[in-house]
Structure 1
Amino acid sequence: MRFSLRRRTSRGMTAPTRVGRVDLIGGGPGPADLMTVRAHRLLAEADVVVADRLGPADEVRAGLAPHVLVVDVGKRPGHHPVPQAQINALLVDHARAGRRVVRLKGGDPFVLGRGGEEVLACQAAGIPVTVTPGVSSAISVPQAAGIPVTHRGVASGLHVVNGQGPFGVSALASLADPSVTTVVLMGVAALPRLVCEALAHGVGADRPVAIVENGHTAHQRTLRSTLGAVVAEAEVARVTNPAVIVVGDVARAGLLLPTAARFAESSA
């Protein structure tokens, strides 16, 4: 615990004043036991937890001390009730009040998690801030379905894309490169547009695609398809967020798992 030594009491004596701080924590793909030891320690020391929708928020909340304030700032597709500027202000205001603030984020704070923006906001306000990494869903969710994002002789590179925007030049190049795996986060709603862009760029319609839904949970499902067929098959399967889209030869059925099923459910 950190203290300053210049708060004056009513008797004129000096007494310690608690200094607030912010710790950004990567919650990983969901299960709390996939978080780091440091992340669990910081949560145990927290006065306030500002939590996203994804990650282990519910499981973590059940284990917090009764006095800990939990602020839900989770976003859903098309529904962002707490704008990022307001989240930044929450972190700063609670820390200025002398509280230990944990910003609990799904995956890793610096992988499409806007963690850098929150660090900058704390720095601008003079608030001590640290970042504890988490397991990114870009790697861990495919892994849960038996999909290695790199595999010797199959894929030697990885490209991670935000599916909420159009494919850039580098993303289109990675999609067309058979040695690169492209992982699309937050891309379910935009899947038809993304597929059209890829096909128009000359990416083969037979390029393997997998969509892993609710990775590392009891509701995990995996759809295996191809670029040319995935839009129709995802619609039939009623694929929803949260899901990770994997494009590349590592996504083909049977690479690691001994099944050729196009759609599988996991009881993990």
Structure 2
Amino acid sequence: MTNQTLAAGPVERHLRARRDAGRGLLMPYVTGGITPGWTRYLEAFAAAGGDAIEVGLPFSDPTLDGVTIQQASEAALARGASTRRILADLAEVRDLGVPLVASTYYNLVLHDGPEAFCAALREAGVTGLIVPDLPVHEADELTDVAAAAGVDLALLASPATPEPRLAEIARRSRGFVYAVSVMGTTGERAALASGATELTTRLRRATDRPVLLGFGISTPDQAREARRHADGVVVGAAVMRRVLDGAGPDDLRAFLATLRRAIDQE
């Protein structure tokens, strides 16, 4: 099997259906194991209108994550979070009505091997995967293994990605294409990065797959602006900063509802 011949998987079918119905897409992020009872955040995210939920599997050396997500990963690891424990928690979550997308670094995939890792994801009800440090030219094996397990491997593109590589990312990505708004780490920013518009325009020329824009989207105004250019947004650091500051599921539901309304107004 080659990734060129793979049909759309569960995440892509879900997001395409919602996008094609005219809905802007919202994918909030939570670090798995960050608090006792952390899966209640997932329920809050779905209730607030999330279209998919990204669950971070914490790693000790998160090179692409900024201070907030690093702190969240450290806090989760200090609590004893591990991939197995997080997936066990997810397996107990009732159907949320939206797909779960795991995100982590390739070291954790290699630890158990791609086949066992992807099988464990699917057994826990996870149908999407993001591996930010996996280059597109090395993604074939994991893409195929993930697809065989019923998991969509989404690839990342940045404003600095050259056109031929961008085309490869758009072709090989599954589920959606993750458009990274800046060359840098995750984190809240005062304004949407200027390169985000051009990047999403280039990606939309290259693929009909949903394009989600992330890295730095922190406010309703930024979410509304991002929706003008992309099919949807990923919100991570702004969520996790609130969790680290003690926000509970109800607080996060209220915050995400403001982003949902902003996206729907566009």
Tell me if TM exceeds 0.5. Answer: no
Query: Which TM-score tier does this pair reach, normalised by the shorter chain?
Result: under 0.3
Larger radius of gyration: 1
Q: Per residue, is there more strand in 1 or in 2? A: 1
Calculate the TM-score normalised by the size of structure 2.
0.28
Q: Could you say which structure has the greater relative contact order, defined with CA pairs below 8 angstroms and 6 or more residues apart?
A: 2
- By percentage of residues, which structure has more helix? 2
TM-score, with length taken from structure 1: 0.28
